[in-house]
Amino acid sequence: MADRPRPVLDPKQLQTLAAVAETGGFDKAAKKLFLTQSAVSQRIRQLEEQLGQPVLTRTVPAEATETGRQLLQHYQQLLLMEDQLLQKLDPATRQREFTSLSVGVNADSLATWYVQAVAPALLEHDLLLDVVVDDQDHTHELMRTGHVIGCVGTRPVPIQGGTQHYLGAMRYLCLATPDFAARYFSHGVSHDALARAPSILFSRKDAVQGQFLRQAAAYEGSFPSFTLPSAQGFVELTRQGLAYCLLPELMLEDDLASGRLVDLFPGQYIDIPLYWHHWRVESRLSQALTEAMLSYCGRYLRQDKAAAAVG
């Protein structure tokens, strides 16, 4: 009996899978790739027939199956290896072209230090970034599912097939306007007051506010909250006196010195350690990003020896 031929992965099919997973639909993927929707469907069907199993869920939005996620991880690493090879074969030509990389970044890093940190690498290597924003505790999921080649997040343990570097910590203070503090906390930051005062969450996955309240006030209860996936939105809502929340010290201007905002828990704060994750198969471009971030964050983020040792 003849052996069954080993499947050969078609890069165009993998590109199409990545487009559907990124956009969430066959029609949007078709627009992204400048194809017809039937051509996209045909590529995905051929890939699934070759593998004998589905690579996408037929849901809205479409999502990668476990097999699809493994293929997306492979495709991201394939792109890095291809860029590395082309650079060796024809460095002069590659230097005149832009290369795009997808990265996952939490909103607070993007609003404060991230762009300044990677700017030298972007300029030197003609690099474009497709930035995907998520909560800092969940950016690693973007990498695990194959959507990005690297991510900034709080996970200290490398993802399977990847490695990570400790960047530093961002310090958060719990702040409000004086009027807000007088309205809700005139008798102190009690449990009753915390149960009534509105706060802000980045998303329903955001657990940092609850973690801080347990640490600072031994408060385990619920609290009313805005949901706002914008770092700058946190600052503006707080400055308008509509809520109190944790704000990164890097986003504050003269808010504390001028009295525009007050610290509800003087002397108490929470430091969030950040790590840069990337695949172990690393191209010169992802290496350039890594070196740029480590250089910048070593100077501008708080460095904690214990967290660095974990990293």
Q: Tally the C-alpha atoms within 13 A of residue 85's C-alpha that lie toward its C-beta.
A: 7
**Rounded distance, CA 304 to CA 310, Å?**
10
Please choose, from the candidates 172, 175, 193, the residue with its C-alpha nearest in 3D space to the C-alpha of residue 184. 193
Determine the Cα–Cα distance for residues 266 and 129; give it in Å rounded to an integer.
39
Beta-bridge partners for 146: none
* Residue segments in the chain with a per-residue pLDDT below the cut of 50: 1
List, in order, residues 6 or more apart from 67 with CB less than 8 Å away.
Answer: 51, 53, 54, 55
- At residue 275, the pLDDT reads 96
Q: Is-contact 67 49, C-beta < 8 A? A: no
Residue 131: Cβ-neighbour burial (10 angstroms; 0-12, 13-18, 19+): middle
Check: CB of residue 109 under 8 Å from CB of residue 273: no
- Paired tokens of 302: 């708080």
Specify the pLDDT at position 11: 87
* Run of H or E residues at 227: strand 225-227
130: helix, coil or strand? strand
User: What pLDDT does residue 269 have?
Assistant: 96
Residue 100: predicted pLDDT: 80
- Taking alpha carbons only, the member of 200, 297, 207, 304 closest to residue 250 is 297
Q: Which amino acid is at 236?
A: E
pLDDT of res. 56:
87
Q: How far apart are CA 254 and CA 260, in angstroms?
A: 8
The pLDDT of residue 203: 87
Q: 24-51, pLDDT tens digit by residue? A: 889 999 998 898 999 899 999 988 888 8
**Would strands 127-134 and 150-153 be described as parallel, antiparallel, or unpaired?**
unpaired
Q: Compute and round to an integer the Cα radius of gyration of the chain.
A: 23
pLDDT score for 258: 97
DSSP 275: E
Which residue bears the tokens 């080993």?
Answer: 6
